[in-house]
Amino acid sequence: MSLTKDEIYEKIQTALIDALGVDDDEVTAEATLVGDLGAESIDFLDIVFRLEKAFDIEIPRSELFPEDILTNAEYVQDGKVTPTGVEQLKKRMAFADLSKFEQNPMVQDFGNLLTVNDMCRYIEGKVGAT
Amino acid sequence: MRWFWIDKFVEFESGCRAVAVKNVTLSEDHLHQCLPAYPYLPASLIVEGLAQTGGLLIGEYNRFTERVVLAKISKAEFHGLALPGDTLTYTAELEYIKDDGALVRGTSHVNGQLQAEVDLFFAHLDDRIEEEMFEPVHFLNMLRTLRLFEIGRKADGERLEVPSHLLEAERS
């Protein structure tokens, strides 16, 4: 059974509230997981587990957290993702808006990229929202 | 001091739920360390007891071949103090488990009253950390002391067996 975008948003909101201990009004579409909601590295695994359970899907870690690209010398030079690396990221993370990151693609800033909206688009792509 | 924060299991259904009890006694030093004239079991040790209940539930799911560590306390709510003479009943339910970890929901009850609720996230250590967490024979002795194999049942209702790698360690 496919879900509406609102239903997907609600389930993601619940997962984030439970995983991060934030209030529901903090989980806005534009909120970034790290900067606004205070997610730390261990939280991402917790969030992935909750989303997998809520939507009955498998989430390969590399789809949401492309560490293999960000730690590959072929795609990173002097702490900056190369244009080829950015292309790889865009290909892998079509659900995420990388336009801001692209302007100054420092690896250290990548962690603060994902927003609630990105998560919604990712899940919508997985479950086929109506 | 031994780091046992449960006394025994009273129910154990593999891959599903575990129930353990913790008897709170006035002779425990840590009861007296928060308020001198008002001994109670610190909340952190109730979380630890729930984590031990849930952690062993997760460990048993993989026949104790994974190294299970408490990685995160997502939620911890307390509704009352645990006082000397109380018996805490800890229930851990396995919400979700994968290769890299598990989610557990836990509750503590005193005389049927909800005393605490926790959501715990456990991780399985990967090969980057080589350290052994427990010496196998001591670990097996601990599981027996907690009566895991006396009351533990598999999902089909059959009695839990001692994992062969622990038995082999004991024989060698």
Domains of chain B: 8-171 (3.10.129.10)
Which residue(s) pair with B123 in the sheet? B69, B101
B121 touches chain A (CB under 8 A): yes
Span B78-102, average pLDDT: 97
Q: Identify all chain B residues contacting A49, using CB atoms and an 8 Å cutoff.
A: 96, 98, 101-103, 121
To test the contact with chain A by mutation, choose from B69, B72, B122 the residue with the greatest count of A C-beta atoms within 10 A, namely: B72
pLDDT at residue B132 is higher than 90? no
Q: What is the ipTM of this complex?
A: 0.83
Cα B35 from chain centroid (whole Å): 26
DSSP state of A17: H
| pLDDT tens digits, one per residue of B28-75 | 988 998 888 899 999 999 999 999 999 999 999 999 999 999 999 999
- Taking the C-alpha atoms of residue B24 and residue B31, their distance in angstroms, rounded to an integer, is 9
Q: Please, which residues have CB within 8 angstroms of residue A74's CB and are 6 or more apart in sequence?
A: A82, A84, A85
A38 touches chain B (CB under 8 A): no
Q: Identify all chain B residues contacting A43, using CB atoms and an 8 Å cutoff.
A: 72
Cα A101 from chain centroid (whole Å): 14
Quote the pLDDT of residue A67. 83
Span B139-146, average pLDDT: 96
Which residue(s) pair with A77 in the sheet? A80
To test the contact with chain A by mutation, choose from B69, B73, B74, B105 the residue with the greatest count of A C-beta atoms within 10 A, namely: B74
Q: Identify all chain B residues contacting A18, using CB atoms and an 8 Å cutoff.
A: 74-75, 119
pLDDT in tens, chain A (130 residues): 688 999 999 999 999 999 999 999 999 999 999 889 999 888 989 999 999 999 999 999 888 888 889 889 999 999 999 999 999 999 999 999 888 899 999 998 887 888 999 999 999 999 986 7
Which pairs from B142-150 meet CB under 8 Å and 24+ separation? B142/B4, B143/B56, B143/B64, B145/B4, B145/B8, B146/B4, B146/B6, B146/B7, B146/B8, B146/B9, B146/B20, B146/B56, B147/B8, B147/B9, B148/B9, B148/B12, B148/B56, B148/B60
Q: Domains of chain A (ranges plus CATH)?
A: 5-127 (1.10.1200.10)
Quote the pLDDT of residue B1. 62
- SS3 of residue A63 by DSSP: helix
Percentage of chain B with pLDDT > 90?
A: 85
Q: What is the pTM of this model?
A: 0.89
To test the contact with chain A by mutation, choose from B73, B121, B124, B128 the residue with the greatest count of A C-beta atoms within 10 A, namely: B121
